[in-house]
Amino acid sequence: MSAEHWAEGVDQLLAEIGPVTGASRVWVFQLMEVQSNAVVQDYVFEWAPSEHYRQLNQNRFRFFSSTLEDPVYRRLVEERQAGVSHDFCIPLMPQGPLRSDLENQAIQSTATVPLFFNGHWWGTLGIDDCERPVSWRGPGLDLLEAVGQLIAAALYRDQLNHRSRQIELFHTLANCGVWEISLCNGRLWCSQSLKTLLGYPEAYSRVSLRRMLARLHPEDRAELWARLRALWRIAESTQFRLDGRLRLANRSWIWHELIGEIQCNEVGQPVVVAGLVLDISRRKQDEEQALAASQLDALTGALNRRGMAQHLETIGPATAPRHLILLDIDHFKQVNDTHGHLVGDTLLRMMVERLRHELRPGDGLVRLGGEEFAVLTSGMQDDQALALAERLRRCIADEPFVVQMSEDEPPLKVMMSVSLGVAGQGDEASQATNQLMAQADQALYAAKHAGRNCVLFYHEAIESRAVSLDSE
């Protein structure tokens, strides 16, 4: 059958054997249900040389029920269930309900072949002659049985194609692919959706395991081998999951989840590793966004303390020397008491924007809490860090902040200043972050006691404290 859909192929088959046999009708009944006292069938295919012989469109043959009270018909059904073909010349049949029913259809002779699918009686292929009381035994019945086998094979192929389409549709909708590795010979099988994802043409016969593993990021590939070796050692565990980066057809690295299971033979030896590849790029993006949000101050958008720790890990000791600048807004409580906390919050956001304009992309701006902030820098000398702190002081103190809280009210101009303390980590990068923070805090404390709105380096703060002690 060359038709694209199996039903079209069945129609073609019936149309070919009808004229060859000279029959009045060739038909197919599909079995719906075998009940204790009846058989329910549906008339699903038919070929007839003229409308005179057609019965497919008659309502009495739509999901019709045939009683099993007639012992002749009951035996006929039992034999069909057993795979027996039949040939009837109606005038030679004994009187009874079955003969009467066939005569009512003006049938002179008929032959039937049961159709089997998945080991069960699926339906019946039949041929009727309304003009000749002939026997179909021999070539006629042999032809009908051959056609029955073709129809059954078409049903199997359609089922396989249907399941294949369902699987590929699932793979497409779920953004996943299926893979299987034979541990006996190392051969890899992967679904069409996975091959397409990796950029292989549809007709590509086989993707090698070596090429597939080369698509996995080296770090994730090492982790995969570690997981598999661990499974080999722990016999009771056979499944694993791994988030890994796959290089796709467009050469980009995309996050996927590898879900695998080791399958063993009857004696417990691993023979196959099989599983799924799921696109989790959106999930990873959400996780990264959630992580980034957890490291930011909700009010100002500056880093919070968690973000500060992550920033320190990012710049690392290899980029030493690095500096920490602590800054505190002078008399900010008075601003809140005078203008309200809504204005105070707006001023904090505006101040962060000003500070950012003075910083490099790799510098870290942190809100430690309240009106206290920190700036983390790397790759600067002490004089450069001091110059940066002075620019930060001026960008706050030199120009008023203009706050427009309502269209009905005139804009509010607020002058602010900050005090800053600077501490530096030398080239040896041996200072702990806590020590650097303590030194910057001492410098900030000294700057506030020196009159505020100024910058002091830690060493200057120590000298200033020493002078103060001497004077006492």
What does the alpha-carbon distance between residue 196 and residue 228 come to, in Å, rounded to a whole number? 26
Phi, psi torsion values for 96, nearest 5 degrees: 165, 175
Instruction: Determine the Cα–Cα distance for residues 452 and 463; give it in Å rounded to an integer.
Output: 17
Give how far Cα 276 sits from Cα of 55, 177, 205, 339, Å: 50, 6, 20, 60
Residue pair 86/136 in contact (Cβ under 8 Å)? The answer is no
What is the token pair recorded at 249?
């057809």
Residue 460 appears among annotated catalytic residues: no
Strand partners, 45: 28
In sequence order, the β-bridge partners of residue 275 are: 179, 260
Peptide bond into 321 cis (omega under 30): yes
Q: How far apart are CA 163 and CA 156, in angstroms?
A: 11
Under a CB-based contact definition with an 8 Å cutoff, are residues 363 and 375 in contact? yes
Nearest CA-CA partner of 430 in 323, 324, 320: 320
Q: Report in angstroms the alpha-carbon separations of 213 from 30, 216, 223, 246.
A: 49, 5, 12, 9
Q: What share of the chain is helix, strand, coil (3-state, %, to 5)?
A: 45, 25, 30
Backbone angles phi, psi at 124, to 5 degrees: -140, 130
Question: DSSP 3-state assignment of 347?
Answer: helix
Q: β-pairing, 64-67 with 38-47?
A: antiparallel
CA distance 187 to 209: 7
Is there a contact between 216 and 194 (Cβ–Cβ < 8 Å)?
no
Q: Which phi and psi (to 5°) does residue 71 adopt? A: -60, -30
For residues 380 and 292, give the distance between their C-alpha atoms in angstroms, rounded to a whole number: 27
The single residue of 4, 371, 428, 460 carrying the catalytic annotation is 371
* Strands of the sheet with 418-425, listed across from one edge: 364-369, 372-378, 322-329, 418-425, 455-457
Which pair of tokens denotes residue 140?
Answer: 């006629």
Quote the CA–CA distance of 381 and 369 in Å, as a whole number: 28
Is 130:106 a contact under the CB 8 Å cutoff?
yes
Q: Enumerate the active-site residues.
A: 371
